[in-house]
Amino acid sequence: MHSMDMITAREKDIPALIRILTPPFETNRSVNRCVKQDDKRLQRIAKQIRYVCKISIRNNLAFMNSSQTGALLCNLSDGKKSTILDDFLFILQVSGLKLGLQILKREKQLKQLRPKTNYCHLWFIGVLNDWQGNGVGSQLLTCLKQRCKEKNLPIYLETSNAFNIPFYERNGFRLIKTRKLPMDDFEIYFFSWSPNE
């Protein structure tokens, strides 16, 4: 397995990030929990990924490999957040008002379960379906861990897909807790990685 070039994505790369990340998340329960379930569901998932891209790019934490087969989106716990316009467009294009208000409550609950220290939050990691199982995701995580190690930042993430647990554990992440939020009908698995381990 050869090493991979990881590119810091910019505004111009948002279409590529959406193209990479939308297919792997089409059936993800957490992603679909935040998306109005109608005939525009797939377009809404793409808009949700665009929302996360913008925040990650503001924090210089949106990455993809040079072959554009894998990408990851992160944020800093103390980093730049969404703007009022971002949130307005999210409610308008992704969730709708009623679900949007529920999501705000859900995000507040998730935030309370995260550490109070500075950390990198891994929001999305995805690999095009045809490239899954070829080490692309592991290479992306290796690059991210190296960047976070240089800044002495731990990484935290949540996943609602139990299938992902072995992948994160193989890549040095530790399962720290499992929770089912009141508005969800599925478990969320919380993982951490420390630069000192």
Taking the chain, what is the end-to-end CA distance rounded to the nearest angstrom?
24
Is 46 a residue whose pLDDT tops 80? Answer: yes
24-52: average pLDDT: 92
What per-residue confidence (pLDDT) applies to 4?
65
Q: At what angle do helices 41-58 and 14-25 cross, to 10 degrees?
A: 130
Q: Give Cα separations from 97 to 54, 84, 88, 101 (angstroms).
A: 21, 14, 9, 6
pLDDT given for residue 2 in this prediction:
44
pLDDT band, residue 113 (cuts 50/70/90): confident
pLDDT of residue 137: 94
pLDDT above 90 (res 88): no
**Residue 50: exposure state from Cβ atoms within 10 A (0-12, 13-18, ≥19):** buried
The number of CA neighbours under 13 Å toward the Cβ of 185 is 2
Q: Given CA atoms 135, 141, 144, 146 in this order, what sign does their dihedral have? A: negative
Q: Which domains does the chain have, with CATH numbers?
A: 6-193 (3.40.630.30)
60-64, 127-131, 132-136, range with greatest mean pLDDT: 60-64
Q: What is residue 1's predicted lDDT score, i.e. its pLDDT? A: 38
Q: Are strands 70-76 and 174-179 parallel, antiparallel or unpaired?
A: unpaired
pLDDT (average), residues 80-106: 84
